[in-house]
A and B are shown apart, each in its own frame.
Chain A
Amino acid sequence: MKFQKSTLENYLFILPAVVIFSIFYIYPFYETFNLSLHNWNGISASRVFVGLRNFKEVFFQDRHWWPAMGHAGYITLIALTFQNALALILAMACDRQIRLGKFYRLVFFIPPVLSEVVVALIWKWIFEPNYGLLNFWLANLGLHNLAREWLSRPETALSCVALIHSWKGFGWGFIILLAGLQTIPQQLYEAARVDGANSWRRFRHVTIPLMIPVFVLVSILTILGSMQAFVLVYQMTAATPALGTTVPVTRILNAMREVQPPRFGFACAQGVVFGLILVILSFLQLRLSKKMRQA
């Protein structure tokens, strides 16, 4: 009897966490799957069971879904290449004892601590076609013909957003890669130097193999973060199909908030498909890295 009372008391410690978690995470999680099999406008009392029809629509009929995935994929690709290469170069530079090293560490992480809304609004102002700083400077440099409406033309809008996304994100990669580089024992470099390896070979045969787990981590974080990018795209370009700047999250919000009547079931089906794609991507990434380490 005493044991039971004490066990009960122990459960009380996790009770608040479990209650909040059940209401705001587990139930919505379950409901996402459940609703994805129904048609519902969020208001009427009855939901119509439609089986997998919402999923069929996401995969085969919706004109906007796969382009949106493509746009997110493009942003991700830029982040994986440009952003992470930049982060690696900067991390390798700061790994040595250089002047202003602490200053750089402080400054490179400023964009990540700013909110996406703030970053979007600041850059939107710089990109502003008539009074923005970018076009003004281009004109001053005599490059009038390069000045354009950066964020309201389909040719440039998505690339500008991808660039700013990378600007906001490279600090993450920088910090994580730098931490990884600093765990590599200096003796390994010394030994390679004694064996006559030049700096490229030291990089190729010491740094890269030891950093593979860190590269994988950074890549997974980049993929998950960039595929879900939303606020920047939405704030900078309003994420319209005409501009070619829709992303999966804006499609989900569109079905939930902007379509009349709202299509909650369809929004959930999109959410399920998107969530699965993200999970599959990060598993593939992990698998690939294991193979690379064995090779």
Chain B
Amino acid sequence: MDSERLKYQFRNFSIGSLLNLFLLLVAASCLFPLFWTFSTSLKTQSQVFSDMSLIPKAFHWENYYLAWTEGSFGVYFLNSVLYTICTVIGIVLVSSLAAYAFSRLKFPGRNLFFFMFLAAMMIPLPGSFVPLYIVMKKLHLLNTPQGYVLCMINVGLSLSIFLLKTFFDKMPTDLEDAARIDGCSKLGIWWNVALPLARPALAVIVIFNSLTVWNEYILALIIFDDTRFMPLQVGLSTFHGEFVTQYPLLMAGIIITVIPILLIYILLQKHIVKGLTAGAVVG
């Protein structure tokens, strides 16, 4: 009896430690590539090809300065920041206006319009960037920051409207009613009452869309020819394609691209996971 139990405990223990080892290995596989990138970013170009040590002997922080200036990652970084901020502000304003109307206001065709936005999330059409390119060309928006921002606002619109409408539907209307009785206009209620109350949903939308814009590549590739306007993702890929790759600078560029995302992710993990899974589940 005793040996039976011992055997059972041993089996449980060994399965448990195997599982722990496995979890640790997978976690290491997630972290190590980033660590190796960071390590490479601190070496010199010649060390990169000769010295495979995980921790470089001397830390060449100047690579970051060079990547920022000569590698143009400073320009790309500021572009990405600008596009992200503009797109997110645009999405918050446009989608919250629409979501508020879909939830609170009455007008003919309300459900039809809402269904239209919903359907857009369900239907994948990768081919539509051909006509998108044509539209942008016709409107003289190719190779312009405002064209890219408008495009990205459209990308985030459907999901944001959907999330906000769901939130508004669950939100009690008491405060809005009170504001209406006090003579507040519809627009005033939206701005002064509904938006502040919707802060939790807005947080998810802001974070989710920031990530999307920051990481977006394919539309930026299609829209921008001019390096002055390129965001980080396109900047990274063109940097890699040119001449002999300056690996330390490329890796520094990658770290520059990744740090804001990692910081936001670690600080706001819950919101991000909520937003991304909502996005995946609906999209």
Tell me the complex Cα distance, A81–B135, Å: 40
Chain B interface bracket (under 10, 10 to 19, 20 to 34, 35 or more): 35 or more
Q: Is B125 an interface residue (CB 8 A)?
A: yes
- Given the known interface contacts A110-B265, A115-B257, A176-B280, the answer about A271 and B128 at a Cβ–Cβ threshold of 8 Å is yes
Which of A7, A86, A104, A278 interacts with B107 by CB under 8 Å?
A: A7
Docked-complex contact B277 and A175, CB < 8 angstroms: yes
Tell me the complex Cα distance, A105–B157, Å: 29
Tell me the complex Cα distance, A100–B108, Å: 54
Stretch at the interface among B32-40, B61-69, B170-178: B32-40
Tell me the complex Cα distance, A89–B18, Å: 12
Tell me the complex Cα distance, A192–B139, Å: 65
Docked-complex contact B37 and A122, CB < 8 angstroms: yes
Docked-complex contact B233 and A252, CB < 8 angstroms: no
Docked-complex contact B135 and A14, CB < 8 angstroms: no
- Given the known interface contacts A113-B211, A268-B130, the answer about A18 and B113 at a Cβ–Cβ threshold of 8 Å is yes
Tell me the complex Cα distance, A268–B30, Å: 37
Docked-complex contact B36 and A17, CB < 8 angstroms: no
Which of A21, A123, A235 interacts with B154 by CB under 8 Å?
A: A21
Which of B48, B120, B237, B273 interacts with A25 by CB under 8 Å?
A: B120
Tell me the complex Cα distance, A109–B261, Å: 12
Distance in angstroms from B8 CB to nearest chain A CB is 12
Docked-complex contact B127 and A121, CB < 8 angstroms: no
Q: Is A20 an interface residue (CB 8 A)?
A: yes
Residue on A with the closest CB to B161? A17
Docked-complex contact B117 and A21, CB < 8 angstroms: yes
Tell me the complex Cα distance, A24–B147, Å: 10
Q: Is B83 an interface residue (CB 8 A)?
A: no
Which of A117, A179, A274 interacts with B127 by CB under 8 Å?
A: A274
Which of A28, A110, A252 interacts with B135 by CB under 8 Å?
A: A28
Docked-complex contact B126 and A17, CB < 8 angstroms: no
14 chain-A/chain-B pairs, Cβ below 8 angstroms: A13-B100, A13-B101, A14-B97, A25-B128, A35-B130, A90-B23, A112-B276, A113-B261, A113-B262, A126-B36, A235-B237, A256-B133, A267-B130, A274-B126
Which of A11, A32, A35, A176 interacts with B277 by CB under 8 Å?
A: A176
Tell me the complex Cα distance, A6–B229, Å: 42
Docked-complex contact A228 and B126, CB < 8 angstroms: yes
Docked-complex contact B135 and A24, CB < 8 angstroms: yes
Docked-complex contact B120 and A21, CB < 8 angstroms: yes
Interface residues of B (CB under 8 A from A): 19-20, 22-23, 26-27, 29-31, 33-34, 36-37, 40, 48-49, 52, 93-95, 97-98, 100-102, 105-108, 113, 116-117, 120, 123-135, 139, 150-151, 153-154, 157-158, 161, 186, 190, 211, 214-218, 233, 236-237, 240, 247, 250-251, 254, 257-258, 261-262, 265-266, 269, 272-273, 276-277, 280-281
The total of chain A residues at the interface (CB under 8 A) is 84
* A-B pairs, 3 with minimum CB distance: A271-B127, A31-B131, A13-B101
Contacts of A264 in B (CB 8 A): 130, 134
Q: Is A9 an interface residue (CB 8 A)?
A: yes
Residue on A with the closest CB to B39? A133
Docked-complex contact A278 and B218, CB < 8 angstroms: no
Contacts of A270 in B (CB 8 A): 127
Tell me the complex Cα distance, A110–B31, Å: 8
Docked-complex contact A17 and B254, CB < 8 angstroms: no
Docked-complex contact B126 and A279, CB < 8 angstroms: no
Q: A101-135: which residues lie under 8 A (CB-CB) from chain B?
A: 103-118, 121-126, 130-131, 133
Contacts of A32 in B (CB 8 A): 125, 127-128, 130-131
- Given the known interface contacts A31-B134, A136-B52, the answer about A16 and B98 at a Cβ–Cβ threshold of 8 Å is yes
Docked-complex contact B26 and A111, CB < 8 angstroms: no
Q: Is A77 an interface residue (CB 8 A)?
A: no
Contact with B along A241-263 (1 / 0, CB 8 A): 00000001100100010000000
Residue on A with the closest CB to B190? A13
Docked-complex contact A14 and B98, CB < 8 angstroms: yes
Contacts of B280 in A (CB 8 A): 172, 176, 221
Docked-complex contact B117 and A17, CB < 8 angstroms: yes
Tell me the complex Cα distance, A231–B124, Å: 17
Q: A1-48: which residues lie under 8 A (CB-CB) from chain B?
A: 7, 9-11, 13-14, 16-18, 20-21, 23-29, 31-32, 35-36, 42
Docked-complex contact A115 and B125, CB < 8 angstroms: no
Distance in angstroms from A48 CB to nearest chain B CB is 16
Contacts of B158 in A (CB 8 A): 21
Docked-complex contact A125 and B37, CB < 8 angstroms: yes
Docked-complex contact B251 and A108, CB < 8 angstroms: no
Distance in angstroms from A250 CB to nearest chain B CB is 11
Q: Is A211 an interface residue (CB 8 A)?
A: no
Contact with B along A143-161 (1 / 0, CB 8 A): 0000000000000000000
Residue on A with the closest CB to B27? A107
Docked-complex contact B20 and A98, CB < 8 angstroms: yes
Contacts of B236 in A (CB 8 A): 117-118, 121
Docked-complex contact B150 and A16, CB < 8 angstroms: no
Distance in angstroms from A54 CB to nearest chain B CB is 11
Q: Is A272 an interface residue (CB 8 A)?
A: yes
Distance in angstroms from B130 CB to nearest chain A CB is 5
Residue on B with the closest CB to A137? B52
